[in-house]
A and B are shown apart, each in its own frame.
Chain A
Amino acid sequence: MDLIAKLNKALKTGFTAAPRDGTLRHENEVAILDAARKMLAKSETGQELLDYAAGKGLEMHVLRNKESFGFLPEKSVVYIATPAGQTMPTVRAVIHLAGALRQAMQEDITGLERPANTRMGKERYIRTYVDKDKDALFFQTAVVYELFEATHLREIIDEFERMGYISLYEAYKEDMKVEGLAKG
């Protein structure tokens, strides 16, 4: 089937399976999580995040959505999203899974825990959330770098570029070269 025929089919009917009504959960959650875990495990940093999740017994779920993700601390649940009907996670969902798992891991890192209240003062409160975001983004960048080194799939870099973070990837790659850690 050529590209436009595929596009028109998707625009008309969506994908293969009809999503269930009455739930936000993805109908192919098990297969998507399995594929996302396998992909993430190809990165050393990703494996570290998965090991942490397994050790902590974190639940992972997939919602029917284009790209939301997050970690719900009260329930120790990590969410990623994949469009309804798809059977594989998008590359972006895999990158988001890394970010969400790191957000979960931060709860055990002094200085990166979620502020319990706002009594710490507005400036420090904001600073904490900025630090948390920067830290999660650093881990996502490391995962993107390592996944590309392991698979040579250009789509991983392209997706990170579409997310607006290509300069972080380039900087990370340069750091690896300077430190003599780059492969090849």
Chain B
Amino acid sequence: MILKWQKLDRAKTGEIINRVSQTPDGPLFSVTTSEATIAHLPFYRGFVLVKLTNYATLPSFSLEFLSDGSSFYLLDGSPMPLQKVALRGGLVLTDQNVTDYVEFFFKHVTTEEGDIYLIHDPDDMPFMDALSLDQQIQIKRKHTDMAVAYDRDNDVFLVQADMYFAGVLLKATLTIQPDGEIQVTNHAMLMGSENGNGGQKGYYA
């Protein structure tokens, strides 16, 4: 999914900054040094993706929100902002846009074990270079493109996808509810990574 970003004028940027830049130590963004851009997403109706970038920070600093113009939900790494938009009726899934939604979801939602990557092309996969040639061939042979089906009885979309999570390569079925909730079912390990479990807990002791 390629996003087409549109730059907002200074007045509109100022309005957005006033709404969202609320930290106890004062605004993180200022209208003179910041830029607001928006992009439409095919699976949202009445909500757009808003990106605020402050060019005065080193390096430049961006935060993204989902907004209907009055409410701004910070994309904070948890599924909550996406759930809130879905609860407000902003999510409209079809077989044409559900894979874009899944992509967007995993780009913005993470876990304590790390990010979830959908594998479109095994050559672009994290750690591919670290695997042996045999393992690389095995993965490429087993890889299949994402496929979508609609389960009419349960009113859910089923997306077949190869995924990488916590050092493990999976072939899985993702069940996407009408409210946008995603669950991983029917998973099979393609292979474990040579790089361990990829977890991040316990390193600060």
Contacts and interface: CB of A to CB of B under 8 A. Distances in A.
Interface residues of A, number: 62
A23 interface: yes
A155 B199 contact: yes
A30 interface: no
A12 interface: yes
Interface string B58-91: 1111110000000000111111100000000000
Interface in A95-138: 100, 103-104, 106, 114, 132-133, 136
B56 A73 contact: yes
Nearest to A91: B200
Given A23-B22, A70-B58, A73-B56, A84 B28 contact: no
A25 B23 contact: yes
Given A15-B78, A84-B78, A155-B196, A7 B58 contact: no
A155 B198 contact: yes
A68 B112 contact: no
A182 interface: no
A133 B56 contact: no
A169 interface: no
Contacts of A154: 195-196
A3 B203 contact: no
Given A7-B111, A10-B109, A10-B113, 7 more contacts: A4-B187, A66-B77, A72-B54, A83-B110, A90-B200, A114-B58, A155-B200
Interface of A: 3-4, 6-8, 10-15, 18-19, 22-25, 35, 38-39, 59, 61, 63-66, 68-75, 77, 79, 81-86, 88-91, 100, 103-104, 106, 114, 132-133, 136, 151, 153-156, 158, 161-162
13 contacts: A4-B187, A8-B183, A11-B184, A18-B80, A24-B22, A64-B76, A65-B63, A68-B61, A70-B59, A84-B77, A91-B200, A136-B59, A151-B203
